[in-house]
A = this chain, B = another copy of it.
Amino acid sequence: MNDGSDLNLCPAPLVFAMIGGKWKLSILQILIFQGTKRFGELRHGIPDITQTMLTKQLRALEGDGLVDRKVYAEVPPKVEYSATDVAIGLMPAFKAMHSWWEAKARPSTN
């Protein structure tokens, strides 16, 4: 019902649907901070994800305009994934989460 034109209120549910879930943040983090990756590289970079889930989440991210998918007509197959500009805009959010974790993990270090 809300088309996004009145965003005085924080649209948390929309945001969280887009980047929430179990794997999306991990996928985005890699693509945002490490750049373009092939399917297999992503799989390797996220140890516990299954092929099925990686494919599914990548498609969802692609559908939301956060990830670009480039297929090469080669054999064996080669598919590259990269963060879109929109996704790269999330970098500050990732950095904030990182800082939070560090502050939490070592509250009295240094």
Contacts and interface: CB of A to CB of B under 8 A. Distances in A.
Interface of A: 4-5, 7, 10-16, 19-22, 25-26, 29, 33, 46-48, 86, 89-90, 92-106
Counting every copy of the chain, the complex holds: 2
A89 B102 contact: no
Contacts of A5: 106
Given A90-B97, A93-B97, A10 B25 contact: no
A99 B33 CA distance: 19
A10 B92 CA distance: 14
A15 B103 CA distance: 12
Nearest to A8: B102
A97 B100 CA distance: 14
B15 A97 contact: yes
Nearest to A17: B22
29 contacts: A4-B105, A5-B106, A7-B102, A7-B105, A10-B29, A10-B33, A10-B94, A10-B98, A11-B101, A11-B105, A12-B25, A12-B26, A15-B25, A15-B98, A15-B101, A16-B26, A19-B97, A20-B20, A20-B21, A20-B22, A20-B25, A21-B22, A89-B100, A90-B97, A90-B100, A93-B93, A93-B96, A93-B100, A95-B96
